[in-house]
Chain A
Amino acid sequence: MFKKIILALGIMVLILLSFQPAFSEIDRVEMQINGMTCPFCVYGIEKKLEALEEVEDASANLKTGIVDIKLKKDEPIDIERLNEAVRETGFTPGGIKITATGSLIEYNGYPALKVAGSDQDFLLVGKHEHEKEEFLSKGKIDQIKAATENGTKTITITGYVHTHRDFSLALSVDSFKIK
């Protein structure tokens, strides 16, 4: 009898877990701000970024010149809004690096990341400013495909976000890990 109760509770927990809402999984946003070198300047930058409705918290690191941005749940990233907010402070936005979790999909034969819990997709590319080859090398695509078992496993990718001519946003892959 006791075993049956435990089993029933276990099944209920599993069912409840399966109905958990899927939140957007952009785990981390790191934005380089050029020219930000004093705490008095930091105030305006954090204030402007936190005024954006999708931003929950912005916290600057003066050693790196990077602001850590925490997005609200379910909010997609809009790099142009982030860049404009920084430009309004009089400083210069640099690159935006994100860590996002989702599944691997294909877009016109090219790999893309579908972020879990949101409609946001990122075309996966090589390091756009440094590599001659625009898209990920075939070897790396095969590596990611194999690791995610053709997209059936969740993947977490870290890289720089930028706009792309064929896709709204692209992510130049720095590193990835399979969950």
Chain B
Amino acid sequence: MCKKGFVTLSILVLFILSIVPISGVLAAGINTDVALPVRKGGFVFRSQLRWLRATDDPTPADREINVLAVPNVLVFGVTPDLSLFGILPFFFRHVESRDPNSGKKVDKDDSGVGDATILGRYTVYAKDYPSGTTRFALLGGIKLPTGDEDLEPITTDSIDFPLGWVSTVTWGFGRHEVDADLVYRINTEAEDFERGDDLVYDLAYEFRVYPWTLPEVGAPNFLYLVAEANGVFSQKSELNGKTIDASGGHILFLSPGLQFATRRYILETSIQLPVIQDLDGNQVKTDFVLSGGFRVNLP
């Protein structure tokens, strides 16, 4: 772990966690996990481009942070109830801040591979009926320290453990869908740094606007309007046994979006707008997270 500038960059911890989805792979909320199944022996691949911008800095450093993240998710259906997720994100980070001596703006760019995560999702309850489904699943996995050191503290040297619950309810022959998840991440200490544990909560509602009325035959492409609430509670992080003041807090986004679903692909876009930013210490506040991406059924 590179210690130089760490406390300054530690403000990124909270935000970054919210922009890399743990799973969220099928036709559901764009930023919310989903409990719909992946067929046995089948794959789903998802990739997104997410742009996070944070410029509201209460300190004289007047920091501006832009992060481009590309989370890639490959899902494999082991059994009808068990799916395995492999997640590998890439990041590009640009930070501008005012030099306290010269008063001039200086910037710093970093890019590389983020930490990989392996997850399992097991469906514990499924009730299907002709017009919809109700499902509950459990999530568990491990985050490995595979990322580039230059990207710290987006990447960490620790092995962390996300555990959670996901549910999906659909009704009205695809007219309505509600997804919800609750994921707790146990973050461990490594190289004298321990990121605070996180509790991620998401709620998504999708409403099919096209076709308004389903045709008598076939499975047409769907266009959904998506409304989501995506939140993260984060505990304070620690460095060398000392609490980092500018870390931890609570952030809640409201996230309108659009999703276009076909048999093979899903195209989607969303903007996450913060409505609550109760951040501890002098952390830079997020302006928005804009995302666009696709999912594809394989093979």
**Chain A contact residues, CB within 8 Å of chain B:** 32, 34-35, 37-48, 59-65, 87-92, 94
The residues of B that contact A87 with a CB separation of less than 8 Å are 80
Task: List residues 9-57 of chain B with CB under 8 A from any CB of chain A.
Answer: 26-27, 36-42
The residues of B that contact A39 with a CB separation of less than 8 Å are 27, 219-222, 261-263
Q: How far is the CB of A42 from chain B (nearest CB, A)?
A: 4
A interface secondary structure, majority: mixed
Q: How far is the CB of B77 from chain A (nearest CB, A)?
A: 7
Q: How far is the CB of B211 from chain A (nearest CB, A)?
A: 10
Q: A63-B214, A90-B77 are in contact. Are A37 and B297 (CB under 8 A)?
A: no
Across the two chains, which residue of chain A brings its CB closest to B218? A61
A62 in contact with B220 (CB, 8 Å): yes
Across the two chains, which residue of chain B brings its CB closest to A89? B39
Across the two chains, which residue of chain A brings its CB closest to B128? A35
The reply to whether the CB of B174 lies closer than 8 angstroms to some CB of chain A is yes
Q: A35-B128, A37-B170, A39-B262 are in contact. Are A47 and B39 (CB under 8 A)?
A: yes
Q: How far is the CA of A111 from the CA of B126 in the complex (A)?
A: 39
- Contact bitstring B180-222, A, C-beta under 8 A = 1, else 0: 0000000000000000000000000000000000111111111
- Max chain B CB contacts within 10 Å: which of A39, A42, A44, A61? A39
Across the two chains, which residue of chain A brings its CB closest to B123? A90
Q: How far is the CA of A61 from the CA of B81 in the complex (A)?
A: 24
The residues of B that contact A37 with a CB separation of less than 8 Å are 131-133, 170, 173-174, 177
Across the two chains, which residue of chain B brings its CB closest to A60? B219
Q: How far is the CB of B112 from chain A (nearest CB, A)?
A: 32
Q: Of B36, B126, B219, which one neighbours A92 at CB under 8 angstroms?
A: B126
Across the two chains, which residue of chain A brings its CB closest to B173? A37
**Contacts A/B (CB < 8 Å), 11 sampled:** A32-B130, A38-B27, A39-B261, A40-B263, A46-B263, A48-B39, A62-B214, A63-B173, A88-B40, A88-B41, A90-B81
B219 in contact with A42 (CB, 8 Å): yes
Q: How far is the CA of A44 from the CA of B38 in the complex (A)?
A: 8
Q: How far is the CB of A77 from chain B (nearest CB, A)?
A: 21
Q: Of A41, A42, A61, A88, which one neighbours B217 at CB under 8 angstroms?
A: A61
The reply to whether the CB of B3 lies closer than 8 angstroms to some CB of chain A is no
The residues of A that contact B217 with a CB separation of less than 8 Å are 61, 63
The residues of A that contact B132 with a CB separation of less than 8 Å are 35, 37
Q: A37-B133, A40-B295 are in contact. Are A62 and B218 (CB under 8 A)?
A: yes
The residues of A that contact B40 with a CB separation of less than 8 Å are 88-90
Q: How far is the CA of A88 from the CA of B39 in the complex (A)?
A: 6
A41 in contact with B214 (CB, 8 Å): no
Q: How far is the CA of A90 from the CA of B121 in the complex (A)?
A: 13
The residues of B that contact A92 with a CB separation of less than 8 Å are 126, 128
Q: How far is the CA of A8 from the CA of B222 in the complex (A)?
A: 59
The residues of B that contact A34 with a CB separation of less than 8 Å are 128-130, 133
B173 in contact with A90 (CB, 8 Å): no
The reply to whether the CB of B226 lies closer than 8 angstroms to some CB of chain A is no
The residues of B that contact A44 with a CB separation of less than 8 Å are 38-39, 42, 297
The reply to whether the CB of B264 lies closer than 8 angstroms to some CB of chain A is yes
Q: How far is the CA of A33 from the CA of B121 in the complex (A)?
A: 23
B222 in contact with A38 (CB, 8 Å): yes
Across the two chains, which residue of chain B brings its CB closest to A65? B130
